[in-house]
């Protein structure tokens, strides 16, 4: 659990600490891990397992959403089409359930293979349907989620991505175009390059380094979350 000091340097109790005294100990932060890959034996799935294990090692409450195995339908049908004139439009039960589930998290970690320099179609469909107008943005509404991390496994090397501006393009799309629009100011994209291992001599060492980089993302996120204890 999170350890929090209840006294300020001056010896007085801060407003935050006073709330902790009134409400009891801080609750564990909740992190939803949303990932997509058709194979369970993929490097993406291995990275997800590392991320989930690392979060739990830090005593965080983890909600794992495996889009491929969950039965989620990424196709947006008329019932879930945004109504720009009605932010209170009732969406399908599936969308409402997923929206509540995601918005209950303090932070999100997306893990995915980079396909066509974006997220897989099933993840884009999840965002299209669930991060909907009136639920995550629009009419002054925001998600209420504190942070998002996007871990993308890229088959190509970093030089190729930077030469064509793909790195900056992906970061702007996910950080500003999606997370930022929904009020998540603390959003960061981390790409794990050469995920296919082409031209790499030491494949075990290379893949281990990618996994370590993903765990480092978790450590950084945990440090950020612990700066502001969760209370309920």
pTM of the model: 0.86
Helix (H, G, I), strand (E, B) or coil at 103: helix
Q: Which residues of the chain have pLDDT under 50?
A: 1-22, 230-232
What's the domain range around 35?
Answer: 27-226
Backbone angles phi, psi at 204, to 5 degrees: -55, -45
Write out pLDDT tens, residues 113-143. Answer: 999 999 999 999 999 999 999 999 999 999 9
8 domain residue, yes or no: no
5 domain residue, yes or no: no
pLDDT of residue 28: 84
20 domain residue, yes or no: no
232 domain residue, yes or no: no
Identify whether the C-beta of residue 149 lies closer than 8 Å to the C-beta of residue 216: no
11 domain residue, yes or no: no
Give the list of residues 6+ apart from residue 38 with CB closer than 8 angstroms, or none.
Answer: 68
pLDDT of residue 107: 97
Q: Cα 101 vs. chain centroid, distance in angstroms? A: 13
173 domain residue, yes or no: yes
Q: Which two tokens stand for residue 24?
A: 């009891």
Residue whose entry in the numeric block shows the structure tokens 């969308």: 95
Give the list of residues 6+ apart from residue 103 with CB closer than 8 angstroms, or none.
Answer: 135, 136, 143, 144, 145
Torsion angle of the four alpha carbons 70, 138, 30, 217, in this order, in degrees rounded to the nearest 10: 90
pLDDT of residue 226: 83
What's the structural domain count of the chain? 1
pLDDT of residue 228: 65
Helices (DSSP H) in the chain: which residue ranges? Answer: 15-23, 43-57, 93-103, 121-130, 158-164, 166-171, 203-226
pLDDT of residue 26: 57
Query: What DSSP line would sit under 140-188, residue for residue?
Result: T------EEEEEEE-SS-HHHHHHHTHHHHHHIIIIIIIIITTT--EEE
| Bridge partners for 27 per DSSP | 230
Task: Classify each residue of 113-135 as buried b or exposed e, where b means 16 or more C-beta atoms within 10 Å of its C-beta.
Answer: bbbebbbbebbbbbbbbbbbbbb
Helix (H, G, I), strand (E, B) or coil at 125: helix
pLDDT of residue 14: 39
Write out pLDDT tens, residues 215-226. Answer: 999 999 999 998
1 domain residue, yes or no: no
Give the CATH number of the domain where residue 128 resides. Answer: 3.40.50.360
Bridge pairing between strands 147-153 and 186-192: parallel
22 domain residue, yes or no: no
Helix (H, G, I), strand (E, B) or coil at 230: strand
DSSP, res 193: -
pLDDT of residue 17: 40
């Amino acid at each position: 659990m999170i350890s929090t000091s209840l006294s300020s340097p001056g010896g007085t109790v801060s407003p935050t600490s006073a709330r902790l005294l009134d409400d009891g100990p801080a609750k564990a932060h909740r992190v939803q891990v949303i990932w997509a890959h058709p194979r369970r034996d993929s490097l993406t799935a291995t990275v997800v397992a590392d991320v989930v294990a690392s979060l739990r090692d830090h005593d965080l409450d983890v909600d794992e959403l495996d889009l491929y195995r969950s039965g989620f339908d990424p196709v947006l049908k008329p019932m879930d089409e945004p109504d720009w004139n009605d932010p209170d439009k009732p969406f399908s039960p599936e969308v409402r359930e997923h929206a509540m589930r995601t918005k209950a998290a303090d932070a999100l970690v997306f893990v995915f293979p980079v396909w066509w320099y974006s997220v897989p179609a099933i993840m884009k469909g999840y965002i299209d349907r669930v991060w909907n107008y009136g639920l995550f943005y629009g009419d002054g509404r925001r998600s209420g989620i504190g942070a998002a991390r996007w871990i993308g496994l890229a088959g190509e090397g970093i030089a190729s991505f930077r030469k064509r501006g793909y790195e900056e393009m992906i970061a702007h799309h996910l950080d500003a175009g999606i997370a930022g629009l929904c009020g998540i100011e603390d959003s960061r994209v981390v790409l794990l390059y050469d995920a296919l291992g082409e031209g790499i001599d030491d494949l075990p060492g290379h893949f281990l380094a990618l996994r370590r980089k993903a765990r480092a993302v978790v450590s950084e996120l945990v440090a950020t979350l612990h700066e502001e204890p969760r209370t309920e």
